[in-house]
Chain A
Amino acid sequence: EVQLVESGGGLIQPGGSLRLSCAASGFSVRSNYMSWVRQAPGKGLEWVSVFYSGGNTLYADSVKGRFTISRDNSKNTVYLQMISLRAEDTAVYYCARDLTSAWFFDYWGQGTLVTVSS
């Protein structure tokens, strides 16, 4: 059974750093495109970053230079390192799988809430 479990969210002050984890089971993260998608309170979905199976990464302009996506194949886990956090980064962060160039998300995690506030 495919499962994605996010962790690492919490309350952090503006300017702080946080690392989110997405532990996958039932498939290999190295063979798929893994993304982070966020949703600010009461707002819509926003794609944040992707780690392609080939190793390339992409970021939305809103997080470029501040967020870094990475992958640990041995732990079958994807990470999102976030630095210089701003109030507008407050959101539920979802990990999602794209079955390698299918260009849609067939599985999502339950999400982890990041709150940036002093």
Chain B
Amino acid sequence: QSALTQPASVSGSPGQSITISCTGSSNDVGRYNLVSWYQQCPGKAPKVMIYEATQRPSGVSNRFSGSKSGNTASLTISGLQAEDEADYYCCSYGGSDTFPYVFGSGTKVTVL
């Protein structure tokens, strides 16, 4: 199973909106609405920000939103803040009896 494709880096100024893409295939992202997004700050464990492509866990800022179209999922961060600077990973369900969790390659978000 190949990793999902994400841009290596995305940057934006405070207050701006940025979008991170996550491209898979018809076997994972395209087949299931089971894409999750994780924020990982340096030296810390990942934290879920979005699940089921568009759902936000309680406690996660509504500045984070997810969407999906075809084989590509996206994470948008609105009103960018300095604290959003981190690595972001997407993850898709890939089938329970084969490769259930397919991670993306990761995107470094820099707040200018």
Q: In the complex, what distance in Å separates the CA atom of A63 from the CA atom of B45? A: 22
Within 8 Å CB of B103, what residues of A? Answer: 37, 44-47
Q: Do the beta carbons of B51 and A44 come within 8 Å of each other?
A: no
A106 and B57 contacting across the interface, CB-CB below 8 Å: yes
Tell whether, in the assembled complex, residue A105 and residue B48 are in contact, meaning their CB atoms are under 8 Å apart.
yes
Inter-chain CB contacts under 8 Å: number: 62
Interface size on B, residues (CB 8 A): 28
B14: interface (CB < 8 Å): no
Residues of A within 8 A of B99 (CB): 47, 58, 60
Are A103 and B34 in contact, with the CB atoms below 8 A? yes
Give chain B residues whose Cβ lies under 8 Å from the Cβ of A50.
100-101
The reply to whether the CB of B63 lies closer than 8 angstroms to some CB of chain A is: no
Q: Is the CB of B89 within 8 A of A44?
A: yes
A residues sitting closer than 8 Å to B (CB atoms) are 35, 37, 44-47, 50, 52, 58, 60-61, 94, 101-106, 108-111
- Show 13 residue pairs from A and B whose CB-CB distance is below 8 angstroms, ordered by the A residue: A44-B89, A44-B105, A44-B106, A46-B103, A47-B103, A103-B32, A103-B34, A103-B101, A105-B46, A108-B46, A108-B47, A109-B45, A111-B45
